[in-house]
Amino acid sequence: MIKMGAKHMMSNSLRIAWKDLMELFRNRMGLVLLILMPLFMMAMVGFIFPSSTSSLSNVPIALANEDTGFGGYRLSSTFVMTLNTINENTGMMTIANASNLDDIREMIQTGNAEGGIIISSDFTSSIMNGQQGTITIITDQSNPQMSAMIQTVLNQVFEQMGTALAQQNIAEQLGIDPSSALAVVKPYNIQVQGSIEGEFSYFDFIAPGIMAMTVMMSVMTGLPAAISQEREVGTLDGMMVAPINRLSVILGKTLAQMARGILQGVLILVLAIAVFGVTVHGSIFLVFALLLLGVFSFVGLGVVLTSFAKDQETAVMMMTTIMFPMMFLSGVFFPIEQMPWFMQSISKFLPLTYVADSLRKVMVLGADIPAISTELSILIIFGVVMTAIAVPVFKRAMTR
């Protein structure tokens, strides 16, 4: 008897899910947007954060050489010549001449330069007297990301140039080969190696987060139409008076939204692999399982919020209010560790945090189930709890 009841309930749930999906398929514009949205999202983010590891390309930099020289020598000329040679080989910058700091500031303000370099007036005299020559990097505070990148790259370039100069001087003083002098100048050889072989970029970090976010948005934006709109037009009332278990209605709506979310998640995964070269180092089946579990955790929350809304417009506003903070607090675009401590505490209560984190571990680090057991447990518990809350809340909303 129980087995027959469960079978009957599942049959009704599948019919409701099929009805919702058929309504989506009949709405050609909605179906096109369902497919195009993740494609646009991934393409936009992919080209903003390219997979290439090159940091700068033809960035305009203003150079002011204020060096007055020492005894007829200007070591800054050799410095500028070396910098131009490096730049010609790498194409990092487009160097424009400037007179002083005020000139560089004006070029930055007018958009003719992204940053600047100032060689101090005592550059040569300081070096000739056994002191350090001063080079100042001028940054544009209105563009902090680009400023940080310019500062990092120029520091690396100047450090390499300084090492090469010191290496040459030591070799001349000791009468040894310049390659042997490197061990005197820099006794340590620092190497960096990732836990997984291969080259990675910021896009490898952001792709799993975009997948999780798009799945969440698909579910959360689809539920207002699936519940609130049907309640407004009266079709939901017809289901309520039919001999169908209320749980079947919720389950059917859930299955339809899960199908929508998985469809968009798969589209993003295919685009990330085929176009942007993202490599899935873990199990592809585990990636699909995490997407499915993510949808399950979002649906219960969405049903609860939609049940409290009086109409579709209110439901959409509620979903938007919940979604946007979740997007920025769940580590989709930026590591959670960079956030203030109170925001990190909030992120621990958001399901999107655990979906994005577990997808990242599987896709980037090749993690298996034991490595993401904490995330899996939290998502399962969150989904079960929200579904358990959604059933009575949905029933109460239908009797209002």
> pLDDT tens-digit profile of 201-232?
677 788 888 888 888 877 777 766 666 666 66
Check residue 53 and give its pLDDT.
45
Q: Are 98 and 64 in contact (CB under 8 A)?
A: yes
Take residue 323 and report the two structure tokens written for it: 């979604």
Write out pLDDT tens, residues 296-314. Answer: 888 778 777 777 777 667 7
Low-confidence ranges of the chain (pLDDT < 50): 1-2, 51-54
Describe the strand order of the beta sheet including 59-65 as a list of residue ranges: 93-98, 59-65, 115-119, 135-139
Structural domains of the chain, ranges and CATH numbers in brackets: 2-50+199-398 (no CATH), 59-185 (3.40.1710)
Give the burial string for 338-372 (b: 16+ CB within 10 Å, else e): ebeeeeeebbeebbbbbbbbbbbbbbbeebeeeeb
130 vs 329: CA distance, rounded Å: 51
Tens-place pLDDT, residues 168-211:
878 877 777 777 777 777 787 777 767 677 667 677 788 888 88
Output the pLDDT for position 256.
76
Check: CB of residue 219 under 8 Å from CB of residue 291: no
Q: What is the pLDDT of residue 212?
A: 85
Are 10 and 244 in contact, with CB atoms under 8 Å apart?
no
pLDDT at position 335 is 81
Q: Counting Cβ atoms within 10 Å, is residue 105 exposed (0-12), middle (13-18) or buried (19+)? A: middle
Q: Which of 314, 333, 313 is nearest to 324 (CA)?
A: 333
